[in-house]
Structure 1
Amino acid sequence: MINYENKTALIIEDFAEFARSLRAMLNEIGIDDVDLVNTGESALRACSEKSYDIILSDYNLGHGKNGMQVLEELHFHNYLKPEAIFIMTTAENTTAMVMGALENQPDSYLTKPFNNAQLRSRLNNLAAKKEALKPLLIAISKGKLNDALQLCEEIADSYPKYKSNVDKLRAEILMKKRQYAEAMSVYETLLEKRPIPWAMVGLAQAQMAKREYQSAMTVLKETLVKFPMVLEAYDLLAECQLKENEPEEAQQTLKEAIKRSPRVIKRQNKLGEVAEKNGDFESSIHAFKQSIRLGNNSIFKTADSYINYTNSVSHFIEADPQAVPRNLINETESYLKEYYKEYKDDKVSRMRGNIAEGLFLNHQGKQKEAQKCVESAKSLYANIETMLPGMAGLELAKGLRELGEENLAEDIIKDAVQHNFEDTRFLEEALPHLNDKSILEKGKQAHRLNSQGIKFFEQGSYDQAIDCFIKAIEASPKNVSIILNTVQVMLKVHQSGNGDASIIERCEGYLNSINNLSPDDDRFLRFSELLRLTRVIKQELNG
């Protein structure tokens, strides 16, 4: 029997009468601590301030964020504790809505109207499962993967009813630990008994991690024959097809997924990217337009959708000027105005907009107007305080080169390569556009020295480790990851009592050299923590 006395609940519902009815149902079940909000935005504020055990959210919440976008953002900000229960409720039952909601993995889905007995039954089942799995879910959320594997054995023995859930989590833990062969063994053992959608998808993911793309494609195609509504299988199949140089097939696969679930921004953006590379500009324009539309109120709204849309229109004009309807030109101008208004305070985004608009105008034969955009972009670049993200730098360099700014384009692409040398996906796309290839050898040398430094540190040879890291930075002084590695090891050397005060001064100098790292960069949190620790140690040394 589940004890609900100490449970907290949040109801997200814009229809006040139904919200009160839901609260009465929860009170009758035994939950007294129940909060009501009527918008997605107020729900997120509530979850940022209070940790709820149970959340019931309507899908349609009027203006603002819908229930799916609320769940997306709760996951994004880690506002949901591992054992929390999230149930989506709605009277709408269209395939597009249901599939879009389910892709964000609520714990359950209830179609209105439902009664107290139905809600109680659903909550009892979910709460019992979450309670049994709670130690395992918490261990995973804290990154204690070895402990989590041990808990898998214990929970499977204690709760045989949830063995399938434990098997799924065990395989996912092995994937996180990069023990792909072991994960494959778990999936294959399960699939010997019967076809299970998540096990087939998991097996394919393990094969992809081992770069066995043909094998993964076979599994994914079989999955889609048996379970055509498993949307993740389409995304993974498209990824494999791109790896195997089958871009037309990848585009078709993504289209099939979007027919079933059109409300996912990332999938629309991916379709747009693939279609554009295939020269199918009408499809890419449509996909990017959908991603702009879906971005309203979403945490996943980005400048990329607008920029990619505008660039696709430019390529369409370049390929066949006569085929471009006037209303598409007008629509693009309207989206650009919206873009500049939305990102008016972001210099990098404004610069990207200038270049995209410059190309758009240039392909229409409006060279003077295009040049004004170029001059605006150059002025912004001269005053940008943050480091350009790698892919944004590549995009800007390609656009500037096409608009006749060869020298500035080369400077930007060189900076981007040096800052992001370890990003293989970026490097593959960037290298064909880099004229000065000499920095590649310096980058390789720096990474060799970086690896040697890590090995020396692990062996306790601290002086040799630091020597390697210093030489690595000399070879590639703009590489963010090498600088962060160097500082991290130097701080550990100092804390172990094997360094002196000069190490801290050097760490601060290295971190100051990359203090223009954008807060949006994946490495920014690590940079911030190392800078904080460096300053704390420096303050202690200065007494």
Structure 2
Amino acid sequence: MPLELIPYHKMSVLIIEDLAEMRSSMKSMLGNIGVQHTESVNNGEDALKKLRNNDYDLVFSDYELGRGKDGQQILEEVRFNNLVKPSSVFIMVTAAQTVDMVMGALEFAPDGYIAKPVTLELLKTRLVRIIRTKDIYKEINLALDDDNTEAALNACNRLAMEKPKFALPAYRIKGKILIEQERFEEAKDIYETVLGIKRVAWAILGMAKVHFYFKEYEQAQNLLESLAKTKAKYVEAQDWLAKSLEEQGKYKAAQKVLVEAVAQSPKSIRRQQALGRVAEKNGDIDVMWKSCRKAVALGKNSCFKSPDVFIGLAKSLQPKIKGGSMRDKKLSTVEALNLIESARMDFDLDTIASLKCSLVEAETLMNSGKEEEGKLAYRAADTIISSSKNLSLDDKIDIFNTKLQFETEEIAMEYGKQVLNEIASNKRLQVKYYKTIELFLHNRPADRLKLVKERGEELLLREDVEDALEMYLRASSFKDADEDIFLGALKSIIGRFKKGRPDRQLTQKCDALFKELETLSESDPRHPILEQLKFQWEEITGDE
């Protein structure tokens, strides 16, 4: 569409820019190309008010807007709440070209970018290109403006038939519409057709989503892993891979994927929230702390702001409150209590979130030495517990952890046994449960060691070498670690190698453990076990 045919005089335009000079300059340049209806705002909140109450054909948003929401956060909310019509054009204007900015904004699909300084010639050239591209899909977008799904799907088909050059983009839009409408079988047909012609990344991702919604998580995982091996940085695919792994209970693998995705695009608040959630499930307090802290900062002006990350960040501060330096203890206590207060004040909490707040508050007060205040907070939480339904097993283990601090051991362990029965064969929750008891027994080393030995032997009998290894390696650093712990660690490492999962660091650890056991007497009934392990290790390592 040539410049003279673009009906700028009929377009309504919104300029979002904090600098008055730049707003004036943009308005002047737009007037020069024929725009007659222009409005402008200098901050994100006013921009969103305008977008909620008016329809604009063109939106120009600066990326950096000083205080308040930035351009990415405006775009997030625009897409999330459908504040801009599909046929409208949203353009990001920015002087910044950092990876964080580009990757973050790209995920919410602006129609284009214009780099500062903006000149009249640059504005003309970029607008023609962006509007001409958008015009190809005009019929589809106008149907979507009217919420006419069938008309939009038919328009996709016509575009593919009449302009074969744009068939793949048309099918991409059609697949997206079908998934949004939960018409997964039809979406599957589209993606199968496209993949039969060409293995394009978006079709692989679309097919993986279909498998995910059909609860075929392993098939989704396989497709997404194949996509991850390509050179394309498809961050959305990593999100869906993490979701697929999480649904299968593969939380450590899900965390690894999310860590990589966050490194590529750290400004995505929802990705940071997901990483914090998965890290908590893995008991990785350091990663949980980092991701929750980042999510709280990113959420300050975001529509995706969530109380869960405030509560999660307060939970992740507990090790510092309990065992940190005096300075760390004081600062972390104040921060945790402020986070809990913010969660209560800034959000309309449901029963479960209120319970979580009270549990973390009680734990914070107890860990900081304020025992009586902690007991009061626990009693408030206990009244919520008795009336709470639909508690997750993670929630129940958290309750168990708090009961160990505030109830008698007999009462707490009785509740814990009930939770363990509900956990059944869920390995991740079993690990979390036993870690909770292990931490509780920190000041009773003999009982803690007994627990580790019994649990370790149980895991080895089930050939669950990964969880056994994690437990024994942790226990081998205890001051009172003995020969049974070292033998258990050796059994776990050798079992892991036998399953075809070698590791250089574990090789070094294995050698160190054999060295620890050099003094084991030949008369010791465990000595034959040690000799058998040495023989198995020599078979694995050969002549090395």
Query: If the TM-score is normalised by the length of the shorter chain, which range does it land in?
Result: 0.5 to 0.7
CA change 1:186–1:93 in 2 (3 A) is same
Supply the distance in 1 between the matched residues of 2:238 and 2:53 (Cα, whole angstroms). 37
Q: Which amino acid aligns with 1:402?
A: T
Q: Check whether the contact 2:11–2:58 (CA below 8 A) recurs between aligned residues.
A: yes
Which residue is 1:535 aligned to? none
1:55 to 51, 55, 59: 59
The AA in structure 2 aligned to 1:4 is: Y
Corresponding residue for 2:141? 137
Identify which range, 388-397 or 235-244, moves more after superposition. 388-397
2:23, 2:347 → 1: CA distance? 40
Q: Paired residue for 1:208, among 201, 207, 212?
A: 212
Q: How does 1:82-97 map to 2 (within 5 A)?
A: 82-97=86-101
Whether 1:67 aligns to 2:44 is no
Helix, strand or coil for the counterpart of 2:65? coil
Please tell me whether residue 198 in structure 1 is matched to residue 238 in structure 2: no
| Residue number in structure 2 paired with 1:28 | 32
Q: CA deviation at 1:127?
A: 2.4
Shift of 1:232: 0.4
Post-superposition offset of 1:87: 0.7
Unaligned runs of 5+ in 1: 410-427, 434-543
Distance, in Å, in 1 between the alignment partners of 2:217 and 2:342 is 43
Corresponding letter in the other structure for 1:92: A
Letter of the aligned partner of 2:399 in structure 1?
Answer: G
State how 1:378-393 maps to structure 2 within 5 Å: none
* Partner SS, residue 36 of structure 1: strand
Q: Is the 8 A contact 1:352 1:396 kept in 2?
A: no
Partner Cα separation in structure 2 for residue 328 and residue 140 of structure 1: 55
My pick for the range that moved more, 395-404 or 222-231, is 395-404
> 8 Å contact 2:285–2:316 — kept in the other structure?
yes
Residue matched to 1:340 = 341
Q: Report if the CA contact (8 A) 2:13-2:39 is conserved.
A: yes
Partner residue in 2 for 1:372: 376
Name the SS for the 1:87 alignment partner: strand
Matched residue SS, 2:301: coil
1:401-428 C-alpha deviation (Å, 9 max, x unpaired): 834689xx9xxxxxxxxxxxxxxxxxx9
Please state how far the C-alpha of 1:78 moved relative to its aligned partner. 2.4
Tell me what 1:104 maps to.
Answer: 108
The count of residues paired between Structure 1 and Structure 2 equals 404
Q: CA offsets per residue over residues 131-183 of structure 1, 9 Å max, x none?
A: 44344234446554333322222233445454333111111233345443442
Report if aligned partners of 1:306, 1:336 keep a CA contact under 8 Å in 2: no
Structure 1 pair 280–397 and aligned structure 2 pair: CA distance change class (3 A): closer
Decide which structure has the larger Cα Rg and report it: 2
Q: Give 2:288's match in structure 1, choosing from 269, 284, 288.
A: 284
Q: 1:2-41 alignment to 2 at 5 Å?
A: 2-41=6-45
User: What aligned pairs does 1:420-459 form with structure 2 within 5 A after superposition?
Assistant: none
Give secondary structure in 1 for the equivalent of 2:9: coil
In 2, the alpha carbon distance for the partners of 1:345 and 1:291 equals 15
Residues 1:224 and 2:228 aligned together: yes
**338-347 vs 209-218, which deviates more?**
338-347
**For the residues of structure 2 that align with 1:328 and 1:284, how far apart are their CA atoms?**
18
> Aligned partners of 2:59, 2:329: CA distance in 1, in Å?
43
**Equivalence for 1:455:** none
Q: Which letter does structure 1 place at the counterpart of 2:402?
A: E
State the 1:128 CA deviation: 3.3
| 1:215 Cα offset (Å) | 2.8
Q: Give 1:310's aligned amino acid.
A: A
Consecutive unaligned residues of structure 2, counting only runs of 5 or more, are 413-427, 434-544
Q: After superposition, where does 1:392-431 map in structure 2 within 5 Å?
A: 395=395, 398-399=398-399, 402-403=402-403
Pair 75,311 (structure 1): closer, same or farther in 2 beyond 3 Å: same
The SS at the match of 1:93 is coil
Q: Is the 8 Å Cα contact of residues 329 and 368 (structure 2) preserved in structure 1?
A: no
Name the CA distance, whole Å, in 1 between partners of 2:234 and 2:190.
20
Corresponding position of 1:537? none
Distance of 2:146 and 2:326 partners within structure 1: 54
| Aligned counterparts of 1:126 and 1:292: Cα–Cα separation in 2 | 35
Residue 112 to residue 371, structure 1, CA distance change in 2 (3 Å) = same
The one-letter code of the counterpart of 1:49 is: N
Residues 1:46 and 2:50 are matched in the alignment: yes
Residue of structure 2 equivalent to 1:486: none
Tell me, what secondary structure is at the counterpart of 1:5? helix
Answer whether contact 1:12 1:40 (CA < 8 A) is retained. Answer: yes
Deviation at 1:60, TM superposition (A): 0.5
Separation (CA, whole Å) in 2 of partners of 1:136 and 1:288: 40
**RMSD over aligned Cα, in angstroms?**
3.5
Q: For structure 1, which segment, 108-117 or 196-205, has the greater mean C-alpha deviation from structure 2 after superposition?
A: 108-117
CA contact (8 A) 1:82 1:134 kept: no
| Displacement of 1:218 | 2.6
Query: Is the partner of 1:120 in helix, strand or coil?
Result: helix
In 2, Cα distance between equivalents of 1:350 and 1:201: 37
Aligned amino acid, residue 204 of structure 2: M
* Range 121-130 or range 77-86, more displaced: 121-130
Distance 1:332 1:82 in 2: 47
Query: Which amino acid letter does the alignment assign opposite residue 209 of structure 1?
Result: Y
Q: Aligned AA for 2:43?
A: T
Distance 1:94 1:347, change over 3 A: closer
Task: Please tell me the residue identity of whatever aligns with 1:287.
Answer: S
Distance 1:147 1:202, change over 3 A: same
Cα distance in 2, alignment partners of residues 324 and 184 from structure 1: 56
Return closer, same or farther for 1:358/1:204 CA change in 2, 3 Å cut-off: same
* Structure-2 change in CA distance of 1:132 and 1:395 (3 Å): same
Alpha-carbon separation, structure 2, partners of 1:48 and 1:388: 37
Q: Residues 87-127 of structure 1: CA distance to partner in whole angstroms, max 9, x if unpaired?
A: 11111111011111111211112222243333223322332
Deviates more, 1:75-84 or 1:128-137: 128-137
Q: 1:259: how far off?
A: 0.5
Corresponding residue for residue 174 of structure 1: 178
Structure 1 residues 396 and 56: alpha-carbon distance in aligned structure 2, compared to 1, 3 A threshold = farther
State the alpha-carbon separation in 2 of the partners of residues 389 and 97 from structure 1. 42
* Cα gap change, 1:405 to 1:102, in 2 (>3 Å): farther
The structure 1 residue matched to 2:311, chosen from 302, 307, 314, is: 307
Q: SS in structure 2 opposite 1:344?
A: helix
Aligned-partner Cα distance in 1 for 2:382–2:219 = 48
The alpha carbon displacement at 1:332 in A equals 4.7
- For residues 226-375 of structure 1, the aligned pairs below 5 Å read 226-314=230-318, 316=319, 322=323, 326-327=327-328, 330-341=331-342, 343-344=344-345, 348=349, 352-364=356-368, 366-375=370-379
- Structure 1 residues 52 and 190 mapped into 2: Cα distance closer, same or farther (>3 Å)? same
TM-score, normalisation: structure 1: 0.66
Question: Are the equivalent residues in 2 in contact too, given 1:238–1:249 (CA < 8 A)?
Answer: yes
Q: Secondary structure at the match of 1:287?
A: helix
Deviation at 1:338, TM superposition (A): 4.9
> Aligned partners of 1:262, 1:10: CA distance in 2, in Å?
28
Contact 1:356–1:399 (8 Å) recurs in 2: no
For the residue of structure 1 that corresponds to 2:69, the secondary structure is: coil
The answer on whether the counterparts of 1:187 and 1:202 sit within 8 Å (CA) in structure 2 is yes
After TM superposition, give the deviation of residue 266 of structure 1 in Å.
1.1
Task: Give SS of 2:140's match.
Answer: helix
SS of 1:226's equivalent? coil
